[in-house]
Structure 1
C-alpha cells in the first residue's frame, strides 16, 4: 500500500475494508451519464445539463474549540439539478469529504429521485471533519455554523438536507433549529430524518435498509432465487447494512459475512445478526464479536454467495475486485460503490447489479413522506409508511427491469434512461431563462 493509502487509512481510523485508491466519483457519474446518450432521442441536446451542477457552494466553517482555539473546517452544498423540484440529498461528515465526491453524490441524487418518481432534484452536502475527533459541543457548533453558512440556499421549498455518513437524527434536529432561529419561525420541513418529536417520520431510520431488502427480493423473484436460504454478504454494518442484514436474516437468509470499520467477519453457517447488532450497539463496532471468524477484506469480495451488499462508501468494487466476485446479485446499499469498469466486468460475468439509484432509494422515499407530512401536519402510521414504500420501490423496480429487458441494457443503464428522460424533459419544458 502506498504512503497516501496508509495515510488515508489512518485518517479513517483503520477502515481497511474501504478502497482509498478508488477513482474520482464525479468521473464515474459523468461516464454513467454518457452511456445513456444513445437512448435520449431529441432530449440529447440537453445532456450537458446533467454534467454541470446547477449550483456549488463552498463555505468556511470556523468554530471555537473547547480549549479556546479557533478551528476551520471546509463545507459544501451542491445542487446538481432543480428541474423537477427542490434539491434533496444528505449531509456527510467525514474526514475525506471532497467537492468532487459531493458533486457526484448530488448527481446520483438527481438520478435516484427521478428513477423512483419523486418530485425532487438532486443535492448533497458535507463537511471535511471526523465526528469522532471533536467533542459533542464542538460538533454542535460545527453543525450550527455550517447550517447558517448554507442557509442562503436551503429551505423547505428550495433544498432539503437529510442524514448521511457521519450524521444522524440529532444532526438534523440541530440543523432544523438553527435554520428556524435564523428565519424567525419553526420550519420543520427544511430537513428530513429528524427525531419523531420534531416532525420526523416513522419508518425513516429503517427505510434505506428496507429498500435494499425489497429490491434484492424483487431481483431474486425475477431470477428464481428466493431469499429464504440465500447466502448474503454485507459490507458496512451501520444504518443501511445492519438493517438490511437484519431483514435478510428475518426472511430466512443466511448472512455469512459482515464488515464494518473495525472488523470483517465470516461464518458460513450463518451469523446471528441480532447478536451482532447488539454487539455493535454496545461496543461501537464488530471488533470482538465472537459469533464469526476474522476474514481478510479481499477474501470478503471473493466469497461465494447469492447476494452481495456493498453498503459503505463509493468506489469499493473496482475492476480488480469485480473479476473475483462470486455473487449472483450485487445490491448497492451505498452510493456509487461500483466503478463503471467494474460494472462492465460484472455484466460480462453474468452478475446482476441492482444499482444504488434504485436499491438505496428507500431512504429518500420516506424522506419525501416526511416532507409531505410536515407540510400537512398530518402523520401516517408506520404500517402506512412501509406499505407506501413497498409500492413505490416495487413499481420502480419493475419499470426499470422492463426497460432493461426491452433495450438489452443493465439495470443501472435502464434506471439512468428512465431518470434522464424525466429530468431532461422537465428541463426542456421549462426552457432557459432569460
Structure 2
C-alpha cells in the first residue's frame, strides 16, 4: 500500500464520524501545491550527478505551512505527499498555528562527502527558495538531515531574500536555533508514553519497553524513559537488536553509540544481540516504540506483536490493516500525529523566538513543550472516550475538525 493511500484511510474514518461533506473532504485532503525539481551538483571527482527534489505544500488554512526536509533513498512524491498531509493534522492536533508541508531528495546522504552534501543542499535551496519563507512554508530537519543542513539552506535562501532566520527551524543554537530542539521529539514521545501508561494503570517499573530505532528520536526517548524508571529491555539499529530482559544500561549504551565512528550500536556486548526484526516481536515487551521508518508493522507480522501499548515515534509505522487488527485486540496505540509532535512544537517555539528576536531558556522550552503535549493528550484522550473510538481516530477527528473550521472561516464552505 502506498503511503498516501494509508493516510487517506485514517482520514476517511475520522471524516466519516465528523460527517464532513464529500466535496469538502476532497478539498481538505488534496495538497495545495506539489513541486518536483531537478537538483544537479558536481561531485568531488568532477562528474555531474542528478537528483530529484520534492516539496509538497498541503494546507495553509491555519497558518504558514511547516514540514521537514528529508534526505533518504526512498523519498518519492507519494511519501512526501503523505507526510505533508500528516503534518497538517499533526500541527492541528497540538494546536499550533501552522499547516502541513514536507520535502526531500531521493539520496543516500551517507554516500556523499560534506562538500557534496553542502552543494546538494544549496542547489535544493536555489530550486525552491521562492516557494518557502517565514510566512509561507518553513522547512525543518528530518530523516537524513540535521542542524548543519538547515544552516546551509538558510544561508543560501538569505542570498535571495536577505537576513531572516525564521525561514527554517532546527538550526544550530549558535545561529538562532532553539535550545532543546534536538531532544524535542524524543522528549515528547517519552512524556506521552509516561502519561499513557499511567492512564492504563501500568507502573513504570513494570512497563518493559522496546525501542525500534536508536537515532535522534529513539535515544532521547530512551533517556527520558530510563530516568522515569522504565526498564528499556531492547533497542535496535541497522546492526541488530540489543536485548536484556532486566533492562539495558541506557547511559552506557548511549556512550558506546557516541564513541562509535558511525554512531551505531555495533560492538556493544553487555547484552544479548538478536536479529534486527526481533525487537518488534519480543514476548516480554509491554511497550513498543517504533522510532525508525514507516510501514514496519503489517498484516504479515502483526500477529507476532505482543506489546499492549504502541507509541508511534516514527511516521506511519503501522499500516491500516494491521492497525485494525491491533485495535480489535485492544492494543493501545498512541498515533504518530500526536506522539511525535514534540519536534514541530519546539520548531514553532524556535520560529516564535526568531520573529521576536528573543531567546528562551532551556527550562522554558521544556515547560512549554510539556504543557503543549500534555494538553493535546488530554483532549485526544477525552475525545476517544466520549466518542468510543481509538486514540488515532480521536486525534484525526480533532485535527481535521480544526482545519475544517479554519477553512470554513476563510470562506470555503462544504
- The CA deviation at 1:43 is 5.6
- The CA deviation at 1:279 is 1.5
Q: Which residue matches 2:146?
A: 168
Mapped to 1, the partners of 2:376 and 2:210 lie a distance apart of: 24
Q: Which residue matches 1:300?
A: 279
Q: Which residue matches 1:338?
A: 318
Q: Which residue matches 1:248?
A: 225
Q: Deviations over 1:345-390 (max 9, x none)?
A: 1111111000000000000000000000000011111111111111
- The CA deviation at 1:229 is 4.0
1:123 aligned onto 2:76? no
- The CA deviation at 1:39 is 2.1
Q: Which residue matches 2:215?
A: 238
* Residue in structure 2 matching 1:47, options 19, 22, 25: 25
Spell out the pairing of 1:289-368 with structure 2 (5 A cutoff): 289-303=268-282, 304-368=284-348
Secondary structure of 1:140 counterpart: helix
- The CA deviation at 1:44 is 5.3
Equivalent residues of 1:43, 1:425 under 8 A apart: no
Change (3 A) 1:253 1:157: same
Show structure 1 runs of 5+ residues with no match. 1-22
Mapped to 1, the partners of 2:393 and 2:99 lie a distance apart of: 19
Q: Deviations over 1:60-79 (max 9, x none)?
A: 00001111111111100000
Equivalent residues of 1:263, 1:285 under 8 A apart: no
- The CA deviation at 1:306 is 1.8
1:405 aligned onto 2:388? no
Mapped to 2, the partners of 1:291 and 1:88 lie a distance apart of: 41
- The CA deviation at 1:130 is 0.6
Structure 1 segments, 4+ long, off by >4 Å, are 42-45
Q: Which residue matches 2:240?
A: 263
Q: Which residue matches 2:176?
A: 199
Q: Which residue matches 1:16?
A: none
Q: Deviations over 1:195-251 (max 9, x none)?
A: 011110011110000000111111111101122342110001011011101111111
Mapped to 2, the partners of 1:366 and 1:216 lie a distance apart of: 18
1:97 aligned onto 2:75? yes
Aligned length: 410
Mapped to 2, the partners of 1:395 and 1:426 lie a distance apart of: 20
Equivalent residues of 2:241, 2:277 under 8 A apart: no
Equivalent residues of 1:256, 1:266 under 8 A apart: yes
* Residue in structure 2 matching 1:142, options 116, 120, 127: 120
Spell out the pairing of 1:202-221 with structure 2 (5 A cutoff): 202-221=179-198
Q: CA RMSD in A?
A: 1.3
